[in-house]
Amino acid sequence: MGFFTYFLRDMEQIVFPKREQNAIPSMDGALSPNDRLDGCEVIGEPIPGADDVAVGGDGALYVSAGRQVLRLSGDGYRERKLFASFEGNAGGLASHPDGRLLVCVSGRGLAAVDGTGQQAWLNQAGDQPLNCPTGVAAAPDGSIFVSNGSNRNTPEDWATDLMQKNRGGRLVACGPALDKPTVLLRDLAYPHGLAIAGDGKNLLLTESWSHKVSTAPLQGQGIGKMMAVNSNLPGYPARLAPAADGGFWLGLFALRTHLVEFVLREDDFREEMMRTIEPRHWVVPALASGGDCLEPMQFGSIKALGIQKPWAPARSYGLVARLNEDGDVVESLHSRVGGHHHGITAVRETAQGLVIVSKGSGRVLLDRSGGRQ
């Protein structure tokens, strides 16, 4: 990029301050940091690659992890058994009203698994394969909604998708038998999580790269007009789930940092970085950090007198937030820099409390207070 490009960009920032780059909101008020995620009960042994969680009609938990879906049941969900396994990594999960489990499988598409283990598949929508399914939700009438994060990358390569600044996500709807797929929305910035709101009448959708949660009224196998609920979150939203008293729970898998937002503006650096450096050493948000001395570091992260400052710029972070219907954050649970439970990809209210999936640490957490203080 030449001088002129930078000049134009500076001018654009002055003339159109609201275009694209919104300032990262500060973490205050209901988003004030705490250590509640680190204090949560861990369900059993670590589950490496744990990604999403769904509650079955039988009250058991289904957790996707790697190429498997595990079924967790009993008090504190301590009993664990294999429910299904696939050829690709399992991601987003949802229970269908008719009892089947809907599973997003990376590189394959959407699978519907019934109690006997029988699988039905949706692999294609419109003219494109469903190779980056990220989130799925089923409406009370049986209609199924599934988000395809990107048209260029699979979910494993989300960091590449962010650095490519892709806007190639789609929202697809189909009938209960995975039939008649229709593409409802295109050009989304990595749609990541879908949920049916508590009233059963609205669909909620997160878009990670535009740090946004939107909603639209359900109209059978279609939706009405999309409206933003919160379009400037301090992190990258992953999946969401309705909360019992209205509003919804949202897992944010990483925080936005000034450095990453800056690198997203620096095309030369970013392209060179993607070309010459391994993805795990990029300047990108991460689900977990600190274990590799080749990871990029920021000046605020220097340990002082042996202590990692919790307010250091966060390469990885744990954040769960509860938002009300207006999109305002009313409650949040954190695992700060130096904490253990980073990279929250899913959160779900269950009979035994709030279940949180920390993909960064490969742990499923249970907050028996239901996340309320």
User: Which residues bind to another protein, rule: CB under 8 A?
Assistant: 6, 257-259, 262, 266, 268-269, 272-273, 276-278, 281-283, 290-308, 312-313
Q: Which is nearer to another protein, 110 or 337 (CB)?
A: 337
Provide, rounded to whole angstroms, the least separation between the CB of residue 267 and another protein: 11
Provide, rounded to whole angstroms, the least separation between the CB of residue 313 and another protein: 5
DSSP 234: S
Provide, rounded to whole angstroms, the least separation between the CB of residue 264 and another protein: 12
SS3 of 301-317? HCCECCECCCCCCCCCC
Q: Which is nearer to another protein, 171 or 260 (CB)?
A: 260
Q: Which is nearer to another protein, 82 or 294 (CB)?
A: 294
Tell me the three state secondary structure of residue 67: coil
In terms of DSSP bridges, do strands 353-358 and 128-129 run parallel, antiparallel, or are they unpaired?
unpaired
Provide, rounded to whole angstroms, the least separation between the CB of residue 5 and another protein: 11
| DSSP codes, 79-92 | EEEEEEE-SS-EEE
Q: Which is nearer to another protein, 9 or 152 (CB)?
A: 9
Helix (H) or strand (E) holding 12: helix 3-15
Q: Which is nearer to another protein, 201 or 281 (CB)?
A: 281
Q: Quote the CA–CA distance of 248 and 214 in Å, as a whole number.
A: 12
CA distances from 245 to 60, 197, 228, 324, 330 (A): 22, 11, 21, 9, 12
Helix (H) or strand (E) holding 242: strand 235-242
Q: At what angle do helices 258-265 and 267-276 cross, to 10 degrees?
A: 100
Q: Which is nearer to another protein, 9 or 368 (CB)?
A: 9
Provide, rounded to whole angstroms, the least separation between the CB of residue 8 and another protein: 14
Provide, rounded to whole angstroms, the least separation between the CB of residue 300 and another protein: 3
| Alpha carbon distance, N-terminus to C-terminus of the chain | 50
Provide, rounded to whole angstroms, the least separation between the CB of residue 233 and another protein: 19
Q: Quote the CA–CA distance of 169 and 130 in Å, as a whole number.
A: 10
Q: Which is nearer to another protein, 118 or 276 (CB)?
A: 276
In the sheet that 61-65 helps form, which strands lie side by side, from edge to edge? 50-55, 61-65, 68-73, 79-85
Q: Residue 55: how many CA atoms within 13 Å on its side-chain side? A: 16
